[in-house]
Structure formats: structure tokens, C-alpha cells
Structure 1
Amino acid sequence: MTKSPRITAFTLAATTALTAAGMAMAEGELNLYSSRHYDTDERLYSDFTDATGITINRIEGKADELIARMQAEGANSPADILLTVDTSRLERAKNAGVLQSIDSAVLEEKIPANLQDSDNQWFGFSQRARIIFYDKADVPNPPMDYVSLADPAYKGMVCHRSSSNVYSQTLLAAVIENHGVEAATAWAQGVADNFAREPEGGDTDQLRGIVSGQCDISIANTYYFARALRKDVSGLSAEIDSIGWIFPAQDAEGAHMNLSGGGVAANAPNRENAIAFLEYLASDQAQQYFSAGNDEFPAVEGAALSESVAKLGAFKADDVDLSVVAKNVPEAQKIFNQVGWK
């Protein structure tokens, strides 16, 4: 838990300090529910307060817990903004009825159409490409696209996260949208057949698996790798030169992108402040900080990249509508269960 003169962060357990009446009465406040767990986001919040004079009160927790909390609070919810990671969670919040549609010329202009909800209930503000990493010494011919990960030539070589992880679900949901259910099912079965080990751990663990020799190929979000380029990450940074990377499907749909984004809460007591905050997140200043502070790709075209992110090189991103991809997540989970991807 961190505190500053302008920002107060609370855990989900700290309910006594947050009553709906207490948070909604004061002017010049913003009540933020966030599942982004990055210390570097403090700069985003403090800069917004410096620019606007609006104090940010923050509750942090897991996305599903925050969504459930907002549902339980109903019309009395103090939440103004929900921030979370991954398109599937943003769509889950929408389906749970805890977000509202807004009109913002700023967001319509700056956020690409495929990175925002069709009903303007959520918007993406930063991105992570989900790409292929490989052992440069052991894999002379790495897979150049997602489909090739299912090639029997890579049997016993692939590390991946579990099927319950939202990054896994959204990637398969994108494969469904780009290639169809039948092809996506065959792909999931082929990748599972190529596993070097049972799915376990987070993205950094998949990269460490390459360094340790447990596997030769993995998929991870770019910001985990870029972070290890920028600073020491145990079990990874010291051997990071041994890892190569591929932005997949550059001759086809392009690299799959994960979103971090947010929307205005359905019962926001400080609605105008909430819209102002989302518009601030689309500003050049905030967009540059998503990259410099957390090694992410900005959502707004032309925003500057940090040195570590720029090292990854230019690439073609999949421009599929992510609000449509999110609707495929239930089908993706069904396929995972069908093929035995744990």
C-alpha cells in the first residue's frame, strides 16, 4: 500500500475507509477501481492530479473481484473508473453491467476503433504484443506464425501458460476470429501435443523456461521481455541474449495484441471527472509513460516508445476488432477443455 498527499491506495479489505457517501460528496475527486498492479502507474495518477487538481482515491484488487464488488454495490457504488488488463476482462465488465457508454470526441479521435468497445463502454490505452520467443542456439528454424506452433516439428519444445489464463484465452479467441473454430481447435490440439511440460507459471516463467532448457519455444507478452532488457529480472536478464523473438504472422494477420484499458463505472458519482481521466490517459504525456514506465506499446499512434520497447523492432499488429475477439472467449475455453489443455 502506498500513500501520497494526493493519492490514497486501498486494498479490497479496506471497506470501512470507503463509504459511498464519503467518496461521492466531495468535489474534485475520482474514485478508481484498478487491477493494474504496477508501481510505475503512480506517475500517471500524480500527473493527472497536478494537471487538474482532482484527487484520486484508489481501490486495488483482482479484476473479477472488483467487477463482483461493483455489482454488489449497485447504484450506491462509489466507483468512477474501472481499469484492468486484457480485452476479455473489459468485455466481462461490460457484460456484468458495471460500465456505461460515454461520448468523448477526444477518445473517438485518438483511440483506434479496433481498440475500443463498439458501444463506447471501454477503451484500450496500452498494448502488449503476444509473440513467439525461442532459444537461438537450439531452434534454427523458429515458427514464424501462431499456426506453425502446432507443427509436429516442434513436439516437446513449447512452453505455455494454462488455459485458465486470460492471455491464453484471448489469443485463442483471436485465432478463432482469424481462422475459424475448426482451425482453432486443430491449432490448440497441436500446440498442446507440442508441450515440453504441463502449463504452469506466468509469462516470465515461460521465458525462464527457455533459459533453463526446459523448453525451446514459448509465447509471452512483450513487456515481460522488454522489462528484462531494461532492468535485472532474476533467472532471465543474465541470459537474455540467448533468446530470440518473432513477431508472428507478419505476412498474414499480424501479431496478436493484448490491451490494458478502462471505462466509466455505470453509477459513477463523478462522471465528468471520470471522462476527463480517460481522456488524460489518451494524452501524449500519459501514452509515453505507459511505454517508459511499464514497457508497453501506446494505444495512440505516434506516441514515443521507451528504449527497451523500441529495441524489439517495428512490426505489423493484428488490427482485428478486439471487442469481437472478446466475445469468442467462451468458445476458446470450450476448445481448451476439449483438447485437454490444462
Structure 2
Amino acid sequence: MLKRICRTGALCGILAATLALGVAAPAAADGSVNVYSYRQPYLIKPLLDAFTNETGIQVNVIFAKKGLEERIRIEGRNSPADLLLSTDIGRLDATKQMGITQSVESDVLHDSIPAKYRDPEGHWFGLTTRARVVYASRERVPQDAITYEELADPKWKGRICTRSGQHDYTIGLVASLIAHNGEEATRDWLKKVKNNLAVKPAGNDRAQVKNIFGGLCDISLGNTYYMGQMMTNEKEPEQKDWAASVHILFPNTEGRGTHVNMSGMVMAKNAPNRENAVRLMEFLASDEAQHIYAGVNYEYPVNPEVEPSDLVKSWGDFKADDLPLIEVAKYRKRASELVDEVAFDDGPGS
């Protein structure tokens, strides 16, 4: 039947999404809310189950690794999506620039989420934060403090590993450096860090820690929550050994603070269940949900009244950069251009 009804790729996508969610588009479905998510189902299920238990509102989720923003845009007024859960300020702000979000006014969200972690116009809101830190070999790096700027020092030549310069996490850090230090200083920093790399950028943040464990490099850049994932990985217990071989250094803690990014949420422009979606957004910012979310994800609660999990606290205290993430988003395009201009991903010696 779906074959007979579909006449265009966009229409097929709309119908497929509608059938997957089990709701009628575009009509609102009483007692439900529809979520498109980049966060993996097992990470958000405890939160959504708690919300349903508290409110009786059913949460329907579609998970994907990419393409959800474009999907919402193509679906247009017929989209069943109420909320999009995403990661990184770049992705969150991009949804606003695409015109697929709507503003949300909520005293609960304003009181729970600091201004630096929400859009001034109410189009996106942070849920958890993660610090972009330095993983350092316990055996070969005795120092207990570092700055991002220090990574350009020749003493680190052949000792640094990192993922692609064009990955969202790296671009966010580079954008923050532009905001703090200016474009020319950041270009020079990228050149020098590139020359200090042990190998060409490749792999994810955990792969860099594996490289440290194997002696390929001594330090790497990574997000804090990967430490939690490695320390508790029962399916691949070798990752526990990787984690044990490093300690976390929070850069610039004695100065402007460590760069942080976030996971967050946006309200879809044509949300068919807006009232329920606002209730879910407010729940996700609540003390209860923040405890659950941060504990499951090994991230930091965005709500300053909620403490991190004991495991996360064991990594030490740090000062977070006060730079509003809207400022980071402003420099992301230029950050990406600078990464290409210095051919960062070509690696050392190129």
C-alpha cells in the first residue's frame, strides 16, 4: 500500500516516519509526544520512561545517526516530529538556521538552564554538558595542569593524537579559541598542533586513548564522558585498561576555563503535540531527569543545582569556560575553514 501511495521521495519519507511513530500526520495525537533523536535509545529510555510514568504521556522515538534535520525540513507541515534531541552547539544552532524550529517560552526552562546554555530567542536548550579535555598518559605525563595553548609547544612534538579537525567536537574547540584568541592566533595554533601530532588524525575519542595505552602518543583531546564509557565497558573490557592508562587534565582551569559543549533539544517548527512537548522539555530540565540523564551518559547536568554522578566527580573539579555557546556557534564556519587552510587532517609533515 505504501508503494501505491508514494509519489515522491519526500512523501515516502513523511509516510515512513508517520508509520514508524504510529501517529497520524499532521493531526495531533492526544497523550503522546514524538521525538527524533541523535541520542542512542538506551541513553534516553530511562528518562522517557520516567516521564511517561509521571505524566501518562506516551513518548515515541525515532533514532538515527544523521539526517534528522533534513528529514524534518522535507516533511514540512506534515512532520510528526515534536522534539529533536541532538548533540553539539553546531547541530543545535544549525536547526535554527534551517528554519525548522520554533521558539519556546518557559519559566521552568529559564530557571533551570543557565543563559549560556540556551538560545537567547528560545530555539534551543542545553540538557547536559561535556568538557573537551586532555587525556594524558599516567606513566609519561606527570603534569597535572595544561592549557589548550600549550598544545602548540614543541615539547609535544610527536606526542599528540586527535580525531579529525573537521569533527563537530574539534570544530567547537577551535571556534572557542577564535572567540578568545582571535583568528590569526588560532591559525598559528592549528599549524603548530598539527606539527606536534604523532599520526594523522583518525578515529574517535576512545581510539585516541587506545593509542596512548599502546604508546603511540602521550596525550589526546577528548570529551569527558568517554572516560565513563570506557571505565564501565563490560562488552569490551579492554577499554577499562585504556581508561586506567590515562588521567584527565582540564585545560585552562586556572584561566578562562575549560571548553564545554552540550547535548540539547529543540522544538520542531510544526510540532503537532506542542503542549506535551513543552512538558517533556521541562521534565528533561528538572532535577529528577538531570540526575538520570547525567548519570546514564557520564555527562554534567546543565542544571547547576544538580550534582554530577560520583563517577564523574571522581575525575576532579574544574572551571568551565563562561563563553556563551552562541558565541562558539558564531565562529564555527570560520573554524572549519581554518582547519582546511592549514591542512590539519593531512597530519604532521604534510
| Fold equivalence (TM over 0.5) | yes
| C-alpha deviation, 1:234, in angstroms | 4.0
Residues 66-90 of structure 1, C-alpha deviations (whole Å, 9 max, x = no match): 0000110111111100110101000
1:304 matched residue in structure 2: 307
| C-alpha deviation, 1:227, in angstroms | 2.4
Cα root mean square deviation, aligned: 1.9
1:5 matched residue in structure 2: none
Contact 1:80 1:268 in 2 (8 A): yes
| C-alpha deviation, 1:239, in angstroms | 4.5
Residues in 2 aligned to 1:314 and 1:231: alpha-carbon distance in whole angstroms: 24
| C-alpha deviation, 1:26, in angstroms | 2.1
1:185 matched residue in structure 2: 187
Q: Does 1:252 align with 2:255?
A: yes
**Secondary structure of 2:170's match?**
helix
Residues in 2 aligned to 1:293 and 1:14: alpha-carbon distance in whole angstroms: 30
Residues in 2 aligned to 1:59 and 1:24: alpha-carbon distance in whole angstroms: 18
- Where structure 1 has 5 or more consecutive residues not aligned to the other structure, the ranges are 1-10
1:324 matched residue in structure 2: 327
- TM normalised by structure 2 equals 0.90
Contact 1:114 1:320 in 2 (8 A): yes
| C-alpha deviation, 1:101, in angstroms | 0.7
Contact 1:82 1:262 in 2 (8 A): yes
Residue 130 to residue 12, structure 1, CA distance change in 2 (3 Å): farther
Contact 1:208 1:235 in 2 (8 A): no
1:171 matched residue in structure 2: 173
Q: Does 1:214 align with 2:212?
A: no
Alignment length, in residue pairs?
331
Residue 201 to residue 288, structure 1, CA distance change in 2 (3 Å): same
Q: Does 1:71 align with 2:73?
A: yes
Contact 1:229 1:308 in 2 (8 A): no
Residue 231 to residue 148, structure 1, CA distance change in 2 (3 Å): same
1:267 matched residue in structure 2: 270
Q: Residue 131 of structure 1 aligns to which amino acid in structure 2? A: V
Residues 257-283 of structure 1, C-alpha deviations (whole Å, 9 max, x = no match): 110001111111111111111110111
Percent identity (aligned): 39
1:203 matched residue in structure 2: 205
| C-alpha deviation, 1:310, in angstroms | 1.1
Q: Does 1:156 align with 2:161?
A: no
2:336 matched residue in structure 1: 333
Residue 38 to residue 190, structure 1, CA distance change in 2 (3 Å): farther
Q: Residue 257 of structure 2 aligns to which amino acid in structure 1? A: G
Residues 236-292 of structure 1, C-alpha deviations (whole Å, 9 max, x = no match): 312533312211101211111110001111111111111111110111111001222
Q: Does 1:225 align with 2:227?
A: yes
1:293 matched residue in structure 2: 296
**Secondary structure of 2:102's match?**
coil
1:37 counterpart (32, 37, 40): 40
Residue 263 to residue 235, structure 1, CA distance change in 2 (3 Å): same
Contact 1:12 1:60 in 2 (8 A): no
2:5 matched residue in structure 1: none
Q: Which shows bigger deviation, 257-266 or 234-243?
A: 234-243
